[in-house]
Amino acid sequence: MIRARVLGLPEQASSHAHADHQMVVALDGRAEFEVEGRGGAVGRLQACLVPGSARHAFAGSRDNRMLILDLPADLRQLPAAEPLLRLFEQPRYLPLAGSLQGLLQFTSRQLELHAQAESPMLWHLSAALLHGLHDELFHAPQANHGRLDLLRLEQFVRANLERPLDVAELAAQQCLSPSHLHACFRREAGTTPHQFVLRLRVEEACRLLAETRLPLSEVAARCGFSSQSAMTHVLVRHTGRRPRQWRHAVA
User: In the predicted model, what is the mean pLDDT of residues 93-110?
Assistant: 82
- 109 CB-near residues (< 8 Å, 6+ apart): none
- What is the pLDDT confidence band of residue 118, given thresholds at 50, 70 and 90? low
SS3 string, the chain, reads CCEEEEECCCCCCEEECCCCEEEEEEEECCEEEEECCEEEEECECEEEEECCCCCEEEEECCCCEEEEEEECCCHHHCCCCHHHHHHCCCCEEEECCHHHHHHHHHHHHHHHHHCCCCCHHHHHHHHHHHHHHHHHHHCCCCCCCCCCCHHHHHHHHHHCCCCCCCHHHHHHHCCCCHHHHHHHHHHHCCCCHHHHHHHHHHHHHHHHHHHCCCCHHHHHHHCCCCCHHHHHHHHHHHHCCCHHHHHHHHC
The CATH label, of 1.10.10.60, 1.10.10.10, 3.40.50.1100, 3.90.1260.10, for the domain at 150-250 is: 1.10.10.60
Share of the chain above pLDDT 70, in %: 94
Whole-angstrom distance, CA of residue 159 vs CA of residue 84: 23
Strand partners, 38: 35
Would you say residue 11 has pLDDT above 80?
Answer: yes
Task: List C-alpha distances in Å: 138 to 83, 102, 132.
Answer: 9, 20, 10
pLDDT in tens, 199-234: 999 999 999 998 889 999 999 999 999 899 999 999
Cα torsion through 119, 124, 128, 129, rounded to 10? 0
Yes or no: say if 69 and 22 are a contact pair by the CB < 8 Å rule: yes
pLDDT given for residue 251 in this prediction = 52
Q: Give the per-residue pLDDT at 142.
A: 44
pLDDT for 236: 93
Q: What is the pLDDT of residue 18?
A: 94
Architecture of domain 3-138: Sandwich (2.60)
pLDDT digits (tens, 9 = 90+) for 19-61: 999 999 999 888 888 898 887 778 888 889 999 999 999 999 8
Q: Is the pLDDT of residue 145 over 60?
A: no
Domain with CATH 2.60.120.280 in the chain: 3-138
Are 82 and 42 spatial neighbours (Cβ–Cβ below 8 Å)?
no
> Which residues of the chain are in CATH 1.10.10.60 domains?
150-250
Q: What percent of the chain has pLDDT over 90?
A: 42
Question: Which pLDDT value is given to residue 102?
Answer: 85
What pLDDT, on a 0 to 100 scale, did the predictor assign at position 140? 47
Does pLDDT of 141 surpass 70? no
